[in-house]
Amino acid sequence: MTAPTSRAELLPLIGQRASAEIAALVIPPVVVAGVPSHASSTWAWAWAGAYLAAAVCLVLARRVFRRDHQSLPSAQFEALWVPRAQYAALVFGAIWGMLPWIGIGAGSFEYALFLYLVLAGTTASTVSYAAADLGVFARYLLPAWGLAALAVPLAFPAHWATVLPLSLLYPWLVWRHARTSHSFLVQQSQLKHRSEALARAHQEARDAAAAASREKSLFLATASHDLRQPLYALTLTAQAAVQRNRDATLDPLLVDISHAASHVSDLLNALLDVSALDSRDATLPLQPLALTPLLCELHERFQPEAAARGLDWRLRGPEAPAWVMADPILLRRALSNLLHNALRYTPQGGVLLAVRQRAPGWAIEVWDTGVGIEEQERQRLFAAFERADDAGQAPEGHGLGLSVVRDCVHRLGAAIEWRSKVGAGSRFRITLAAARSPSPSIARQPRTVSHLNRLRGRVLVIEDDLGVAQGLRHLMDDWGIDSRIATDAVQAYRALAEGFEPSVVMSDLRLRGDVSGYDLMLALLPRLPQAKGLVVTGELDHPDLQRADDDGYLVLRKPVAPEGLHRVLASLLGPSPLIPDRRTVGPAVPHSS
């Protein structure tokens, strides 16, 4: 519904444009100068003086008008200035109405006609601003043309019968025009109200959407810890069962359970990735990143899935050391999702992960011989929760992968290209800016540790979720690690008091009662000079995450793949030139997505 237009809204139009009366100061000298030489100019000078005095008062009143318009409430402004405007209109109308009387007695038809034409012109000019308030304009029009009509028989004694009807018809026509102009100004004001209301509604909708997005991100960030814990426990328990099983008939069942847990992990991570990407800044501090270790890691990670599907899984690395400017977590996530999609939509053939140098950067490509993408699916390919029509061939897909890829690539400031042919496969290419190797020590390739190797050493696990804690203990027992579980600070200090000297203190970030597991780990490490710290968390956003990163400790995100956890523990428990002391610097080991 459009708000009604008040007189206080239209009145400023009169104040802003009433300068036409001031500009009309050029008229009095012309009127005086035009008086015939044989006639007296006394009345002309008197009229000019009256008009000049009224114009000066108008200039002074405009200053007060503008001040009150800015400072007074609308109702008070209207009550104060509508009567003043009506009075000013009455005064100026009377002054202009006296103009034709100057020609009486001058004995010149031409001079009398000139005065009426001047009055007609100024009246037409007045409509442009005084029509904003018809009451104001009426108080100008009636005295101006009422007095002018009375002067017609005296100014035109020989032609008054012709001039008088014209002097009455003209103000009537002007009044009709004023009413039309007033209606237009009212509609214009109402359109302004409507536009402002729509703008406010649009802004409120945007604010509501932004608030909903923030609340969604906050909810997922808060709930991620609780969501990841049971999933992490399931993954660890399933892996421990696979390793301990000696009954061949149970192998298929245990493998299916492990795959199901992995798929649930995929879905959860994709959902949380969308939330994390929404809540992170659009620009990220990129860093030099070596591609070869990352690609080898991805090749090793997806090898079991490709083998289970009977696909040819190949890696074609760079011919020269390849370094790019990127965020390692975002790039790993983008490539992981591309590879997941390639494997899911390739019923036979193979998948290739390749790196090519494309000046001035590097291009990472994912090729597959899958089903391809239909033309009608291409416009919404990167939309969240969208899956191609052929997705039925890949029942485990959930439609989030390429949406995450798009957001990751955008945050990296990189470019993504793709092409596809139905029945022949697809190719996705991410092009990144090249970077120089920071130092020879960082450029050195890390050694890999097979997840089947048995390990030696002691690990203190600080974890308040009993399901996760038991799963970790079962795995570490199978790996040959002597582990001790502590759910809080009391149990952790008791373990040390009983003589347990771990080589690694592995702690969750948030314990029961909102206790900081990171602070507990920092308090324990000075008592264990040879021990190294490791943080494992399901948090998306927590102050201790930045603290741990600044302090140089490795942070793993739950759910961590057992193979990835094994590699990290192998590097921490065994001698490694890459980890000189208990503070371990480096990107998080990838977890199953």
Look at residue 196 and tell me if it is in a domain. Answer: no
Q: Which of 114, 132, 158 is the last residue before a domain boundary?
A: 158
The answer to which of 109-113, 128-132, 388-392, 571-575 has the lowest mean pLDDT is 388-392
pLDDT at 504: 93
CATH code of 584's domain: 3.40.50.2300
The answer to which of 189-193, 216-220, 339-343 has the lowest mean pLDDT is 216-220
Q: Would you state the structure tokens that stand for residue 383, as one six-digit string?
A: 């939309």
Question: Do 270 and 337 have their domain in common?
Answer: no
Question: Do 300 and 255 have their domain in common?
Answer: no
Q: Structural domain tally of the chain?
A: 3
Look at residue 424 and tell me if it is in a domain. Answer: yes
Query: Whole domain around residue 510: which residue ranges?
Result: 221-279+449-593
Residue 535 has pLDDT above 80, yes or no: yes
Residues facing 486 on adjacent strands: 462
Look at residue 164 and tell me if it is in a domain. Answer: no
Question: Do 507 and 557 have their domain in common?
Answer: yes
pLDDT at 15: 61
pLDDT, tens digit, for every residue of 299-315?
888 888 888 889 999 99
Q: What is the mean pLDDT of residues 279-292?
A: 68
Question: Do 310 and 353 have their domain in common?
Answer: yes
Residue 589 has pLDDT above 50, yes or no: no
Name, in order, each residue with C-beta under 8 angstroms of 558's C-beta and a sequence gap of 6 or more. Answer: 228, 229, 231, 232, 468, 536, 537, 538, 591
Q: Would you state the structure tokens that stand for residue 495, as one six-digit string?
A: 């373990």
Confidence of residue 322 (pLDDT cuts 50, 70, 90): confident
Question: Do 85 and 106 have their domain in common?
Answer: yes
Name, in order, each residue with C-beta under 8 angstroms of 396's C-beta and a sequence gap of 6 or more. Answer: 263, 266, 344
For the chain, percent of residues with pLDDT exceeding 70: 78
Q: Which of 158, 175, 208 is the last residue before a domain boundary?
A: 158
Look at residue 580 and tell me if it is in a domain. Answer: yes
Question: Do 236 and 323 have their domain in common?
Answer: no
pLDDT at 368: 92
pLDDT at 312: 93
Question: Do 404 and 549 have their domain in common?
Answer: no
User: In this predicted model, which residue has the larger pLDDT, 504 or 64?
Assistant: 504
pLDDT at 502: 92
pLDDT, tens digit, for every residue of 39-91?
778 888 888 888 888 888 887 888 887 788 778 887 787 778 788 888 888 98
Q: Report CA-CA distances (Å) from 394 to 263, 341, 387.
A: 12, 9, 10
Q: What is the mean pLDDT of residues 332-342?
A: 87
Question: Do 390 and 374 have their domain in common?
Answer: yes
pLDDT at 554: 83
User: In this predicted model, which residue has the larger pLDDT, 42 or 240?
Assistant: 42
Look at residue 191 and tell me if it is in a domain. Answer: no
Look at residue 53 and tell me if it is in a domain. Answer: yes
Confidence of residue 269 (pLDDT cuts 50, 70, 90): low
Question: Do 331 and 465 have their domain in common?
Answer: no
User: In this predicted model, which residue has the larger pLDDT, 27 or 145?
Assistant: 145
Question: Do 308 and 381 have their domain in common?
Answer: yes
User: In this predicted model, which residue has the larger pLDDT, 354 or 187?
Assistant: 354
Q: Which of 420, 443, 466 is the last residue before a domain boundary?
A: 443
CATH code of 409's domain: 3.30.565.10
Look at residue 489 and tell me if it is in a domain. Answer: yes
Question: Do 591 and 499 have their domain in common?
Answer: yes
Let me know the angle formed at the C-alpha of 86 by 67 and 92, rounded to the nearest 5 degrees: 100
Per DSSP, helices labelled H in 400-461 are 401-412, 440-443
- For the packed helices 134-155 and 74-97, what is the interaxial angle rounded to 10 degrees? 10
Question: Do 545 and 418 have their domain in common?
Answer: no
Q: What is the mean pLDDT of residues 267-288?
A: 60
Q: CA quadruple 102, 104, 106, 109: dihedral positive or negative?
A: positive
Look at residue 213 and tell me if it is in a domain. Answer: no
pLDDT at 397: 41
